[in-house]
Structure 1
Amino acid sequence: MAEGGWLYGLATLIGASEPALKLLISLLVGYPLLYIHRKFLHDKSPILQHFYFILGGVGIAIFNNGINVLHSMFCIFFAWLVLFLIGGTLLSVLVSFTFQMGYLLIAYYITGTDTYDIKWTMPHCVLTLRLIALAFDLYDGSSKTEDLSKDQQATALKIRPSLLEIAGHTYFPASFMVGPQFSMKRYLSFVHGTLYPVNTPSPVFAGLKRGFYGVLYLLIYQIGISIIPDSFLLSEPYMTMPFWKRFIMVGIWGKITLYKYVSCWLITEGACILSGLAYSGKDQDGNPLWKGCANVKLFLFELSTQFGMLIQGFNTNTNAWVAQYIYKRLKFLNNRYLSQIGALLFLALWHGFHSGYYACFFMEFIIMFMEKRLAMVLRKFPKLVSALESPPLSYILFVVMKFYTITFMGYCLGSFVLLKSSKWLEFYSSLYYIGHIFFGCWIVIEPLVKLILSVLFGKQQDSPKSQNSVGNPSQSRKLDSGNENKKAV
């Protein structure tokens, strides 16, 4: 739409760009589209449902990106063709992975600018993961069930999906633009009416509730970013602040920035819940759960006192995808850290070529390395852990660790948002590279920390892994397993 149209005017009024407003409309339109489906089509022919989802998703794609919808159509057709000709083989996985990622990277190269723009490559990166997973799932389906992991068993496909099924899965209106990811197996169970029992209570209220949270987070983000915009990080008022104030401001800005992603995920999750696609079984009281399309755990996200906890609560759906299709597939490397590096490199490349992505994920790696090593050290000193658990020290520690998580998350996000090396280097320079020094030196000072703790709390002990850890002791076991699933911002 030409500049000066009603969309442009409305976007200007609310302080957003026109593409951003189009994106918001596209996320919200999923609610009426899926309510109509639930009301009139959910128990009808799967073919009819596929066509409905395709029309809805293609309409959204055209509304946002016009003729560029052809890119998604071509990649969907190619994905089907590969499965039709050589599906279920390792070769099909390699061909699909190479083509889909290659297509995305070429698109990044051709359309890239010095800033992050909302354009057709944004939904295409979501599509890329979905179509790659499809080849993996059909390949897993050709293996014996007992040879598959629990995750693989849940997504493995025994029968090659049709072109219509692949298109319906890809263009599902609530998830085409920003996700969430969900397996073809879940989608097929949904359209065939076998995902949840017939007498399951309606999820409409639960979906609207989740969507309301998303709108609330979006309002907080919009207000916050109008006060502390991204450009503030390189502005003269910021640079002339005392160091401690710059550091705190970066933390506040980072928290606000994360709300942009949280709001989008909550809105799309709400639409998925409303449709019934998010069904995930029942709780102990027999009430239905609707967590199958969740991409953020709000309680854990807001109360995180370690990066490991934050990763468990943020972008969980994409984390699970990377864990299943990248991290765990690299087990042949026989080294957890190499697998983590491989997963993070994939995530950075999936985001694009900007150096800021790689700088951000490098920071994540060294932070997670430090936190995991520190947790291992603390477990050897039960007396110290017991003291950290006991009030009032536990309350003081919570505040300190919360400050640590918020401020250093903002520090990490600086490069992710600023993208260009000249910008994020200036940003880190303004903070004297405090994060790089603080986390990067851990491998050198760890022996000294062990020595000091040994002097203060006695000889090191081998304690069970369930022993509590710093910041939020009860999360220790969760962190040990959760650290394997790397974050995708």
Structure 2
Amino acid sequence: MAEVAADDRTYLQAFANFLGAPEPALRLLISILIGYPIVLIHRYTLYCKSPKLQHLYFIVTGVSIALFNYGHNVVHSAVCVMVAWLLLLLIGGTLKSVIISFVFQMTYLLVGYYMTGTDTYDIKWSMPHCVLTLRLIALTYDVYDGRKDPGKLSNDQQKTALSFTPTLVEIAAHTYFPASFMVGPQFSMRRYLDFVKGTLVGCELPPCLIPGLLRGGLGLFYLAVYQVGISYIPDAFINSEEYYDLSLWQRHMMVGLWAKITLYKYISCWLIAEGVCIMSGLSYSGKDANGNCLWNGCANVKIGLYEGATTFGHMIASFNTNTNAWVAQYVYKRLRFLNNRYISQTSALVFLAVWHGLHSGYYACFFMEFVVMNFERDIVNYVNQYPRLVSLLNAGPLKYFKFVVLKLYVVVFMGYCLGPFVLLKLHRWWKFYSSLYFSGHLFFALWPFYAPAVKAIIKTIGGERVKDDKGKKE
């Protein structure tokens, strides 16, 4: 067996070298793509059959994918699944179970990051473990919500709440579901169980093969664009002598293009994984006005919104949407009792940074997200109080000019914000920001100091002002 494994690694390494990709990245891609035949076999042999057999099928295939990538390190996910089940069995449905689950799962993840971390982004067992961590924490929350009065639950909570404690087999199958174990997307235990029971779509085979293949094909297209892009602008370019020889404005533009290419790596993986979820039937989300089936229940990226984004708000709403929705439901909205939006927002961003890892670059990145979003919220709210100015900006040739300016703004400063996320280490991202003279920090973080001047200009151009949401004018 050891010899077979060694040969397997040798062949894969040779193929990875031929493609110009790291071997762990190739294993990851194979693991996502193999989801397609796995769900096809399920579709034609087990769909709407015995739930227990379906659970076992998903456990066996999911664990096999984990073994293919990380070998004996699959034990880490198994330990966390076992602890989650025991916790629900003993004190499930209580606030104490939620707190213990949150602390244990996050601590296990962070220790994993510490044990496996290096100076670069690594594809090791801790990578899919971050997906598992959110899934198991959410499970405990959902059982807790299921013990509450349904009338006191939000719409999101009503869709995910569980009035019973899932079995160990159900938890394991939900965790190792082969279409999402490696890179997501997140989906609730409630959705998974409805899918297995046949109540999500119905027991007639759903018309999801073509939509799934199209979504997966789009993912492969983005993967190809990424591979071509990094051959011209690899991560190493941002700290190269060639980069530092560019003028300041050229550095900003190159950073923006580099970030655009880098994000395609994540988008391609999410689209391919989503295609698997669609083909399984798990992504069903009802029908549109014309009676056509909708398959966006597991979507993790909104391509149209992403490519047309002209604000960071658009980018956040279109990128990694499942994780953002998870944080909104299980972190941000749970802090409403504090009655302070900024504390809730800060807590959510700190959680995201911690969840991503221990590298300082994550914290620098999410700090920039905080200041950028507050900048945009403030200026958009103020501009919207001047209907004449809004109409002017959205009419005639000016709307096209506005689009170009805002598109450049998003591309350039998205690269600026993403830099630390990719470079990770303080000495690397500090040098990166130094090369750009900390332009983003000056532009966004200093907004409160130059905001009065900008608002005075807006007021001069805007004419009559509508005050906030009270309908009063001045």
Letter in 2 for 1:42: Y
Q: Which residue in 2 is equivalent to 1:245?
A: 250
CA contact (8 A) 2:216 2:274 kept: yes
Q: Which residue in 2 is equivalent to 1:158?
A: 163
CA contact (8 A) 2:138 2:330 kept: yes
Residue 228 (str. 1) matches residue 233 (str. 2):
yes
- Give distance in 1, aligned partners of 2:202 and 2:401: 47
Q: Please give the per-residue CA displacement for 1:70-97, whole angstroms capped at 9, x wherever unaligned.
A: 0000100000000000000000000111
**Cα distance change of structure 1 residues 26 and 200 upon mapping to structure 2, 3 Å threshold:** closer
- Give distance in 1, aligned partners of 2:165 and 2:424: 40
Q: 1:297 aligns with which of 287, 298, 302?
A: 302
What SS does the aligned partner of 1:392 have? helix
Letter in 1 for 2:400: Y
Q: Please give the per-residue CA displacement for 1:134-166, whole angstroms capped at 9, x wherever unaligned.
A: 000000000010000000000000010000000
Q: 1:391 aligns with which of 382, 391, 396?
A: 396
Q: Which residue in 2 is equivalent to 1:79?
A: 84
Quote the offset at 1:447 in angstroms. 1.6
**Cα distance change of structure 1 residues 56 and 434 upon mapping to structure 2, 3 Å threshold:** same
CA contact (8 A) 2:48 2:203 kept: no
Quote the offset at 1:458 in angstroms. 2.9
Q: Please give the per-residue CA displacement for 1:373-397, whole angstroms capped at 9, x wherever unaligned.
A: 0011101211111110101000111
- Give distance in 2, aligned partners of 1:386 and 1:441: 28
Quote the offset at 1:256 in angstroms. 0.3
Q: Which residue in 1 is equivalent to 2:270?
A: 265
CA contact (8 A) 1:382 1:463 kept: no
Q: Which residue in 1 is equivalent to 2:114?
A: 109
- Give distance in 2, aligned partners of 1:460 and 1:195: 49
- Give distance in 2, aligned partners of 1:427 and 1:388: 34
Letter in 1 for 2:342: Y
CA contact (8 A) 2:282 2:298 kept: yes
Residue 34 (str. 1) matches residue 59 (str. 2):
no
Q: 1:174 aligns with which of 154, 173, 179?
A: 179
Provide TM-score, normalisation by structure 2. 0.97
Q: Please give the per-residue CA displacement for 1:434-458, whole angstroms capped at 9, x wherever unaligned.
A: 1010111111111222222222333
- Give distance in 2, aligned partners of 1:251 and 1:464: 36
Quote the offset at 1:197 in angstroms. 3.0
What SS does the aligned partner of 1:444 have? helix
RMSD across aligned C-alpha pairs, in angstroms?
1.3
Q: 104-113 or 455-464, which moves further after superposition?
A: 455-464
Q: 1:326 aligns with which of 319, 325, 331?
A: 331
Residue 454 (str. 1) matches residue 459 (str. 2):
yes
What SS does the aligned partner of 2:284 have? coil
Quote the offset at 1:200 in angstroms. 6.4
Q: Which residue in 2 is equivalent to 1:216?
A: 221
CA contact (8 A) 2:312 2:373 kept: yes
Q: 1:348 aligns with which of 342, 348, 353?
A: 353
Q: Please give the per-residue CA displacement for 1:5-62, whole angstroms capped at 9, x wherever unaligned.
A: 1100110111100000000000000000000001110121000000000000000000
Q: 1:405 aligns with which of 405, 410, 415?
A: 410
Q: Which residue in 2 is equivalent to 1:202?
A: 207
Letter in 2 for 1:187: Y
Provide TM-score, normalisation by structure 1. 0.94
Q: Please give the per-residue CA displacement for 1:304-334, whole angstroms capped at 9, x wherever unaligned.
A: 0000011111111111000000000111221
Q: Which residue in 1 is equivalent to 2:24?
A: 19
Q: 220-229 or 195-204, which moves further after superposition?
A: 195-204
Equivalenced residues, count = 466
Residue 414 (str. 1) matches residue 419 (str. 2):
yes
**Cα distance change of structure 1 residues 211 and 392 upon mapping to structure 2, 3 Å threshold:** same
Letter in 2 for 1:292: G
Q: Which residue in 1 is equivalent to 2:340?
A: 335
Identity %, equivalent residues: 61
**Cα distance change of structure 1 residues 394 and 176 upon mapping to structure 2, 3 Å threshold:** same
Letter in 2 for 1:285: N
**Cα distance change of structure 1 residues 63 and 199 upon mapping to structure 2, 3 Å threshold:** closer
Quote the offset at 1:465 in angstroms. 9.8
- Give distance in 1, aligned partners of 2:461 and 2:422: 42
What SS does the aligned partner of 1:5 have? helix
Letter in 2 for 1:92: S
Letter in 1 for 2:261: I
- Give distance in 1, aligned partners of 2:63 and 2:119: 29
Q: Please give the per-residue CA displacement for 1:111-131, whole angstroms capped at 9, x wherever unaligned.
A: 111111000000101000000
CA contact (8 A) 2:233 2:258 kept: yes
- Give distance in 2, aligned partners of 1:406 and 1:155: 36
Q: 1:276 aligns with which of 278, 281, 287?
A: 281
Q: 1:372 aligns with which of 363, 377, 392?
A: 377
- Give distance in 2, aligned partners of 1:420 and 1:462: 45
Letter in 1 for 2:192: Y
CA contact (8 A) 1:379 1:465 kept: no
